Amino acid sequence: MKEQSKSFLEALVAKDVTLAETEFKKYCGLLDKISCTSTLHKNTAARRKSRFSRRLRDLKQA
């Protein structure tokens, strides 16, 4: 999970929208998969997805 979030953040820093979108989709899928178990709470996963989607939206608007 940490590696996937790092790759998304690197795409944001590089301002590569298409790469950031694909990394975001992978990260969301990973969060959904982990939140089904007791490893990560559902609200925590939702909060992280929300924060990352906001950063992606800001990149698209810039």
CA nearest neighbour of 8 among 35, 31, 39, 16: 16
Average of per-residue pLDDT across 24-30: 97
Domain spans of the chain, in order of start:
2-61
pTM score, whole prediction: 0.92
Confidence class of residue 7 from pLDDT cuts 50, 70 and 90?
very high
Confidence class of residue 44 from pLDDT cuts 50, 70 and 90?
very high
Confidence class of residue 49 from pLDDT cuts 50, 70 and 90?
very high
Tell me the per-residue pLDDT of 31-40, one tens digit each, with 9 for 90 and over: 999 999 999 9
Between CA 31 and CA 21 the distance in angstroms is 15
